[in-house]
Amino acid sequence: MRNQTVHTISIIDNDSMPVVSWSHSSDIVAESINALSLTATLDHLCGLDISVPFNVSGSATVNVDHNLSDGMIVIPSEQLHGAVYFEIIDDTLHEPIETLLVTMQTPENAVKGSPNVYTLTILDNDNENPPPIIVDPEGEYKTISQAISIAKNGNTIIVKPGTYKESIKIDKSLTILSEKGYEHTFVEGTQRWGAVFEIDADDVTIKGFTVYGGYKGICLLQNSEGAEVIQNRCGYSVKHHNTYGIYLSQSHKNNISGNLCFYNRDGIYLFSSKNNNISGNQCDSNNRDGIYLYLSRNNVISQNKCSSNGRYGIYLNQWSYFNTLIGNTIESSENKGLRIFYSTNNESFLNDFISNTENIISSSQNLWNPSTKLSYLYNESHYNNYLGNFYSDHNLLDSDNNGITDDVYMFSYDRLTDNHPLSSQLSNYVFQTWWFTSNEVISSNENKFFISKISANDTKIWRQEKDFVIANNLSRINSWTGQIVFSDALKADESLRLDIGYSGDDKDFNHTGIETSLTGDGKQSRLIFKINSGELSIPSGNQLAIRISNDNESGYDIMTGLGWSYITPLI
């Protein structure tokens, strides 16, 4: 009998993983519209089931304004689409415009593409405000400029899909929204040396447009404040771009978030501007810089991705002070990932520097870690440390496994050092640091930018999110530290009181005796605090709460959101 030989042949799949994205980035609906769906779409078929997890956030409240919670969409094998279905809850309350944000998380058996954030804008049908003004190439108002000319302060303008060739000046407080997002709504400028959108008023919102053909795509003029420039695409090809994607000129307290700025000279440019929030933008393939600050101070640059830019990923140029760079990914810059030139007292930490020609060149007297230690989990262990940045070209040896490399990182040009470089990319750390947020919550997850006004002889209370990891270990906390950031320096003779307590469903604040004073010197707008605490006990059914009291005759603006005001426990 002949011996049988068994051969095993392994067939290795050489097909690329599919890219999954939302079918579109935004919708606008009236509150009376009930049944809706959100579709995840693949760019090609796959022989495996695709799981697409998502998180739900925004000003609209689950089970009050809608019934969509965090969940999962499954796209079956050999199919291109999967959907989740939900309803809008029609109530009788008078409400402002609300938003529902659905953020795609890391999918299984696929790569996350773009758009990966879907925004549903819900218009109230119960108030006495006038209905939105509709811009439609086939309707009464065929251009955005026509709609602005008849609008009044506070009006909403909704723009139907199409291409609009116009240069637009906004001199009223308006909300201008595209109905279907930037993929379907294009605005091509008609003035080569002008702006496509020029904002010359306070409290303007521009959302969901593709903008190109201008010297400046979206421009905020001198002393305009409170703008929301969100989820726009400013430049998208070598033929469809601007010189500056988004440009701020002496403009303050604005939120520039979730925009795409591609193929411009500079993606986002700030000139002599302060107290702005530049977050969650993607600035890729710009000829010069992804994000550029000149003569600008006290801004937060957070969670942006700056990739493949021709000079610098981020550039802080000449007399740009007290800015914070946190949570950014800067990669494949042709010159430097980050340059800081003749600018001091800036903080840069928790950023990922990946595959840049050179990572950083900087002036002295800048800080490469936060002003305080942070509380975090790494490999399921808890630590308190100063934390720097991640550098892909660094020796990543971490012998004590605390998330910080054994060796400092030295910048090649000026011999400055990051003394606490991360041994892994930021996504591998879980932070027990609470950021003060817009809805009066202290949260490690939600970080929407907001300016909280605390009037003379007034108090503000922020309450803990319910999923705080160390909540059951409060007795182990030996101190609290953090910072409160104001839009302007506290007067030298004034102070505010910060109390740590707890609050229940009645939302009353219960004092625990753990407190400190925030005292101004007339110069600093960022005040650091540390409180040594005894044992802290919070009754069941209550959450940790922070109260700030202002017993002065002056009112102040407290800056909140990621990179602004925070508190962290040290164990």
As a whole-number percent, the residues of the chain with pLDDT over 90 amount to 75
Domain boundaries, the chain: 19-123, 133-381, 432-570
User: pTM score, two decimals?
Assistant: 0.89
Percentages helix, strand, coil for the chain, rounded to the nearest 5? 5, 45, 50
Q: Which whole number is the average pLDDT over 544-557?
A: 94
345-354, 459-468, 485-494, 549-558: segment of lowest average pLDDT: 459-468
Between residues 62 and 330, the one the model is more confident about? 330
Task: Give yes or no for residue 1 having a pLDDT over 60.
Answer: no
202-211, 247-256, 357-366: segment of lowest average pLDDT: 357-366
Task: Decide: residue 491, CB within 10 A, 0-12 exposed, 13-18 middle, 19+ buried.
Answer: middle
Q: Which residues pair with 55 in a beta bridge?
A: 103
Task: Give yes or no for residue 8 having a pLDDT over 80.
Answer: no
pLDDT number for residue 461: 94
pLDDT number for residue 13: 60
Q: Which whole number is the average pLDDT over 186-202?
A: 96
Edge-first strand order for the sheet with 50-57 is: 26-30, 117-123, 98-104, 50-57, 71-75
SS3 sequence of 341-390: ECCCCCEEECCEEECCCEEEEECCCCECCCCCCEEEEECCEEEEECCCCE
pLDDT number for residue 123: 86
Between residues 282 and 506, the one the model is more confident about? 282
Q: Which whole number is the average pLDDT over 96-109?
A: 90
Distance (Å, whole) CA 311 – CA 52: 36
Dihedral sign (CA 188, 190, 194, 198):
negative
Name every residue whose Cβ is closer than 8 Å to that of residue 512 and which is 6 or more positions away in sequence: 499, 500, 501, 502, 536
**Given pLDDT bands bounded at 50, 70 and 90, which one contains residue 205?**
very high
Q: Tell me how long the chain is.
A: 571
Distance (Å, whole) CA 371 – CA 92: 47
pLDDT number for residue 62: 87
Distance (Å, whole) CA 68 – CA 510: 33
Q: Which whole number is the average pLDDT over 374-400?
A: 94
**Given pLDDT bands bounded at 50, 70 and 90, which one contains residue 127?**
low
Q: Which whole number is the average pLDDT over 336-345?
A: 96
CATH hierarchy code of domain 432-570: 2.60.120.680
Dihedral sign (CA 220, 559, 281, 160):
negative
58-67, 132-141, 208-217, 309-318: segment of lowest average pLDDT: 58-67
pLDDT number for residue 469: 46
Name every residue whose Cβ is closer than 8 Å to that of residue 399 and which is 6 or more positions away in sequence: 406
pLDDT number for residue 539: 85
**Given pLDDT bands bounded at 50, 70 and 90, which one contains residue 40?**
very high
pLDDT number for residue 10: 59
pLDDT number for residue 3: 63
Distance (Å, whole) CA 432 – CA 92: 39
Query: Is the separation of the CB atoms in 89 and 139 below 8 Å?
Result: no
- Tokens of residue 469, six digits: 């990891």
Read off φ and ψ for residue 536, nearest 5 degrees.
Answer: -115, 125
Q: Classify domain 19-123 at the CATH class level.
A: mainly beta
Between residues 440 and 235, the one the model is more confident about? 235
Domain 133-381 sits in CATH 2.60.40.10: no
Distance (Å, whole) CA 489 – CA 122: 38
Q: What is the mean pLDDT of the chain?
A: 91
Task: Give yes or no for residue 549 having a pLDDT over 90.
Answer: yes
Read off the pLDDT of residues 235-254 as tens digits, 9 standing for 90 and up.
999 999 999 999 999 999 99
Following CA atoms 445, 451, 452, 457 in sequence, which dihedral angle do they give, to the nearest 10 degrees?
Answer: 150
**Given pLDDT bands bounded at 50, 70 and 90, which one contains residue 498?**
very high
Considering only CA atoms, which of 218, 217, 202 is closest in space to residue 252? 202
As a whole-number percent, the residues of the chain with pLDDT over 70 amount to 94
pLDDT number for residue 563: 95
Q: Which whole number is the average pLDDT over 476-485?
A: 90
Helix, strand or coil, per DSSP, at residue 251: coil
Q: Do domains 133-381 and 432-570 have the same CATH topology?
A: no
Q: Which whole number is the average pLDDT over 140-164?
A: 97
Read off φ and ψ for residue 224, nearest 5 degrees.
Answer: -75, 140
